[in-house]
Every structure is written in structure tokens, then in C-alpha cells.
Amino acid sequence: MSILNDLIGTFNSAVESVTETYNTVSTSSFSNRAIQVNGQTIWITKLLSEGGFSQVYLAENRQKELFAVKAIRCRLDKEAAKTAIREALITDRFQQKGIIQIIDVCMVKEQDGNKTLYIIMPFYKRGNLQDMIEKNFIGGTHISERELLLLFKQICTSIQILAKYTNKRGERIPYAHRDIKPANILLSDDGTMPVLMDFGSAKPARIYIENKKSAIVEQDDAAEHCSMPYRAPELFSVEPDSLLTEKVDIWSLGCTLFAVAYGTSPFEMTINQQGGTLPLAILNRQFSFPYNQQHYSKEFQNFISWMLTTDPDRRPSIDHVLLALDKLMNKTPS
């Protein structure tokens, strides 16, 4: 992937050396615009989703092949461009089964002087797990426990890849995704393979919090990049002289499994039923399973509760989660 290799170099030269194509379409409306991506023209046809820092569009090339294109607006400052490039580099670092693949990237200079980083990825017509949750709610259906556990095992395997990352020098540097949620897990076209996406929040997992200042910085970063209903409690109240680890993802996995099974995240369910605020519900571990439901076993619920252990030192590792998952699946009828 030559364009990414170019971006790895010194940042100032990278920003100046990437494509600077001036677009004739208003930057407030990306639909029906064409962009040049390393010699290939692709046409953006419609908006698929929009987040706080980016938009994802459906696009096609001359051969009518479909792509998902993530557009990250970098404004005028180089720091924003650096952050966007960093997301592409981290995503490229984990190009394995179950993790979103990068087909290409390019930086485009807009008429207003801002730059937009385009990340071109495969398009998955089934959408994401959040789409599946909403479809099940509308249809009054549910996914079976065994089928859900099979999907969840593959998600956990992708998280294990991040947690066991080793660089080219042989140094182990665990990564955390830090924004695991149903909307960030796509489904393959046959519906059997979950694909982890959106690495804008991902970073090396183990962060020592030296003092109050660094605690505030890390807490603010989590507030900006980690979705609140799925955010681990230690990211709401970061303590000086503490260590953040990859176990923040275990909490998010527990919330995600709960949401796919029961239609919403555990702590959103709590405040919908009892009132209050999400941060307090999460910090107090205030949640319960739906009463009188027959679809999921007590062992399944205990498995979720285990991942939602407030103390990260007592929360299971991804290896322990996978071991427990295998045991649970052996007890679950086909």
C-alpha cells in the first residue's frame, strides 16, 4: 500500500506530498461527486452514516463495484490531518480477517483550503450489528444464543489480534480499540462474519496515568472518542497513578453482547427504566437483565456480567473470555 507508506514518513512532507485535487462540488454536499484515488475515479453516491469527525459514503467505480468511503475532514490545521492519517495507519496495521480492510487512501485539498482524507474500504450490504438490532426489534425477532455466541467469538478473536500486537522489532504493544459497539461491527454479505471497523479511537492500550493533569487529558480524550453507553468505568473517572489497559475493550464487549441480545446497551436500558444518568449508572454498575425473557440462558447472562466487572484488575482478559466462551458454546444446543 504505497500511499500509506508515503504517509508514514515525516508528517510535514507527507501532508504536502499527497494528492491535492481541487473539487468542483460544494464541500457541504459530497453526493454525486467524483474523486481521483491514485489514478482511479470513484463516484460518491449517497451518505451512509455520519459521526462527530467523519462521514461514510457509498461509492462506485466505472465497473460499478461498490465501496464504502470514509471522509475525514481535516480543516486547516495540520494536527487534524495528522490524526486522520494516524487512523488510516492504525487500521492498515491490523489487516487480518475480521478487521476492516483498507483498499486505498488519498488526501484531497478542497476549494476552501481544507484537506479531506478518504479511506476506501469494502462495502458490506448487510450493514452493521446496530442495523441488525433495529431490524430484529421491528420484526419482533431475535438471534439464537448459539448463533450470537458464534458471531461474538469472531469479534473477540479480532480484539485478541489487537491485544497481542507485536511490532517489527518483536516488541509486544497491546492495542485497544476503545470504541467497540454494534455500530462499529459490520456483517459480511452472507451474515456469518463480523468485521470490526472505525479505528479512530484505537491506540496502544497500556497508558500509565502519572498525575492529575494526565488523568484529565485521558478522560477528555475518552469523552471525545469513546461512545458513552459502551465506555468502561475507568475511562469516566481516570485516577492518577493508575494504569489503563486493553481491558477497557472487555467492558465494551460485554455491553455489545447485551445490546445484540436485548436490543439496547445495559446501562441505557437502566436509565430508560429507572431514570438517572449514564455515567452514574455505569460507575455504579447499575444494570439488570430483562425480566421473563426465555431466549437466553442464565449462563449466557452470567458470562455478560463477568465481562462487566467494574474493577479492571478483576475483569477477565480477552484470552479468558475466549476460553469461557468455548465452554459456554459447548453447553449451548445447536
- 16 Cβ contact partners less than 8 Å away, ≥ 6 residues apart: none
Cα(15)–Cα(107) distance, integer angstroms: 8
Cell numbers at residue 229, please? Answer: 453507553
* DSSP code at position 184: G
Cα(173)–Cα(224) distance, integer angstroms: 23
Cα(147)–Cα(152) distance, integer angstroms: 9
Asked if 183 and 130 touch (Cβ cutoff 8 Å), the reply is yes
Cα(268)–Cα(282) distance, integer angstroms: 9
Type of residue at 55: Q
Q: Is 6 a catalytic residue?
A: no
Q: ∠125-127-131 over CA atoms, to 5°? A: 140
What stretches of 145-241 adopt beta strand conformation (E)?
175-176, 185-187, 194-196, 203-204, 207-209
Collapse the DSSP code of 221 into the 3-class scheme (helix H, G, I; strand E, B; otherwise coil) and give the result: helix
Annotated catalytic residue: which of 92, 104, 179, 249?
A: 179
Q: Which residues are catalytic?
A: 179
